[in-house]
Amino acid sequence: MIGGKTKLLAVIGDPIGHSLSPAMHNASFAAEGLDYVYVALEVKAEDVPAAVRGAAALGFRGLNVTMPHKRAVLPLMDELDEGSRVSGAVNTVVIEDSRLCGFNTDGPGLVEACREAGIRLAGRRVLLLGAGGAAASIAAAFCDAGIERLRIVNRNVERARDLSEKLREVGKRAEVEVHAPDALEEEALDAAVIVNTTPLGMRDGDPLPLPPAYLDEGRAVIDAVYRPGLETPLIRHARERGATVVTGQRMLLYQGVLAQKLWTGKQPNVEAMNRALL
């Protein structure tokens, strides 16, 4: 029961009504008997600084941040983890005595989802489609997991180069190259793991981010896009062709597991969170 000592958490974004995070986190709190409550708050872009500072003033324990605010909150933080610094994006905020600590759990969450699916990352060659905040967090986490080579394909090549440079600056050891989309098929041929972080798949009728011929058995295909209750076309084609797949929903689950652990200091009830998502 919510009371005067209940600790407050929220996800902020615009729009936010579709978010599965409240159901996921509140299921874990209920299962473990933790006195927390998690809500979704729609925040317009111009109100992000006031909303974040207001959460701290109101005694919130933390926040999740989703599109389109992940980059906007970064300069508001007092501290940042490496994933946030590399990606330029924050998806989790921990509030300690009004001090704002920013984290990015997207990449580490995806590493956990790969482990669950039996996908080995150490020594593998990875093709990353996209170079936004989620892509950058994934790139950093995959390098930490010991991948051998990372190829980043993005329409904005300069943005991909910036990501490559940031990875070098923080000492990531994987061999990193950047390519324009016209090199996509050539790079896909050599990749053991393919990760889509582009928006393709969010809407009905979107084209596949790469041709089905490259989604064959022996590869791992990961889609950061998730659609509640639906598989993306990329995941559906890859599954039909025998590839090992990780859906955006599994990434959502495990980034949430890591975020909740940051807020509570306790191992979340993963089974309860998973049931809520399903």
State the CB neighbour count (10 A cutoff) for residue 47.
Answer: 14
Rounded to whole angstroms, the Cα distance separating 263 from 16 reads 21
- Which among 5, 7, 70, 261 is annotated as catalytic? 70
Is position 224 annotated in a ligand binding site? yes
Q: In what order do the strands lie in the sheet with 149-153?
A: 175-179, 149-153, 125-129, 193-196, 220-223, 244-246
The residue count for the chain: 278
Termini Cα distance of the chain: 24
Is position 112 annotated in a ligand binding site? no
Is position 238 annotated in a ligand binding site? no
Is position 91 annotated in a ligand binding site? yes
70 is catalytic: yes
Is position 130 annotated in a ligand binding site? yes
Is position 83 annotated in a ligand binding site? no
Sign, Cα dihedral of 256, 261, 263, 266 = positive
Is position 66 annotated in a ligand binding site? yes
Is position 132 annotated in a ligand binding site? yes
Strands 62-65 and 92-96: antiparallel
Is position 19 annotated in a ligand binding site? yes
Rounded to whole angstroms, the Cα distance separating 142 from 149 reads 10
Is position 133 annotated in a ligand binding site? yes
Contact 122, 146 (CB under 8 A): yes
Coil, strand, or helix at residue 16? coil
Nearest residue to 223 via CA among 62, 25, 215, 47: 215
Residue type, 134: A
Is position 267 annotated in a ligand binding site? no
Is position 20 annotated in a ligand binding site? yes
Question: Around 257, how many Cα atoms within 13 Å sit in the side-chain half-sphere?
Answer: 23
Is position 274 annotated in a ligand binding site? no
Helix, strand, coil fractions of the chain, as percent rounded to 5 = 40, 20, 35
Q: Which residues contribute to the annotated binding site for NADP(+)?
A: 82, 130-134, 224, 248
**Active site amino acids:** 70
Residue list for the binding site: 19-21, 66, 82, 91, 106, 130-134, 224, 226, 248, 255
| Residues tagged in the binding site annotation for shikimate | 19-21, 66, 91, 106, 226, 255
